[in-house]
Structure 1
Amino acid sequence: MFILTLTYTVPLDAVDAHIAPHMAWVAEGYEKGIFLASGRKEPRTGGVILAHGQRDALAALVATDPFVIAGVAQYEITELVLSRTAPGLERLKA
């Protein structure tokens, strides 16, 4: 599993101009079965996506995020090897 940490690099008004295409990109990640969970950081400095797949493929995918293309955000990709989950979340270890 991977944690995709998104950090805004510009003021929020510049980020907000790209919200709609970014959210469409996120929806596509769910439709493809890559994204498992996502949400904004609080305070609003970026977001986090839980994903599965291969690091190289995820790096290529985040490069297509409209936020990245517009230069308003950057990603950090962290691999997490889960050893334990709460009941009902076993799928995350796959």
Structure 2
Amino acid sequence: MFIVRLAYKAPTEEIDYLLPDHIAWLTKHYDAGYFLCSGRQTVQDGRVIITRPMPLAKLEALLATDPLAVARMVRHEVIEFQATRTAPELARVNEALAG
């Protein structure tokens, strides 16, 4: 699995301009089953996405199509980890999506 931190490289006013396109991009990848969770950081200097397991090259290809990345307004910081424990609710969601 991956945690992706989107670090803003532009003022939030410019980021906000592209948010509808970014949200459409997120929706596409939620619908495809790649993303599990996402949201704005509380310090308002970026966003976070938690993904399903996939090859790193695939994730990098997905991130390259993020409208915020295409406009060079964010930097993606990728942290790979192996989940060894999850909340029961997340395990049920993962099972439902996999089946």
Q: When the two structures are superposed, what TM-score results if normalisation uses the length of structure 2?
A: 0.87
Residue-by-residue CA offset, 1:19-68 (whole Å, 9 max, x unaligned) = 11000000001010000111100111111111122110000110100000
- Confirm whether residue 76 of structure 1 aligns to residue 77 of structure 2: yes
Percent of paired sites with the same residue:
39
**How do 1:10-89 and structure 2 match up within 5 A?**
10-52=10-52, 53-89=54-90
CA distance in 2: counterparts of 1:87 and 1:17, whole angstroms: 37
Segments of structure 2 that go 5 or more residues without pairing to the other structure are none
Segments of structure 1 that go 5 or more residues without pairing to the other structure are none
**Matched position secondary structure for 1:89:** helix
CA distance in 2: counterparts of 1:20 and 1:88, whole angstroms: 29
Shift of 1:87: 2.2
Which structure has more helix as a fraction of its residues? 2
- Root-mean-square deviation (CA, aligned residues, Å) is 1.6
CA distance in 1: counterparts of 2:88 and 2:69, whole angstroms: 35
> Quick one: which amino acid aligns to residue 45 of structure 1?
D
Partner in structure 1 of residue 6 of structure 2: 6
CA distance in 2: counterparts of 1:36 and 1:86, whole angstroms: 13
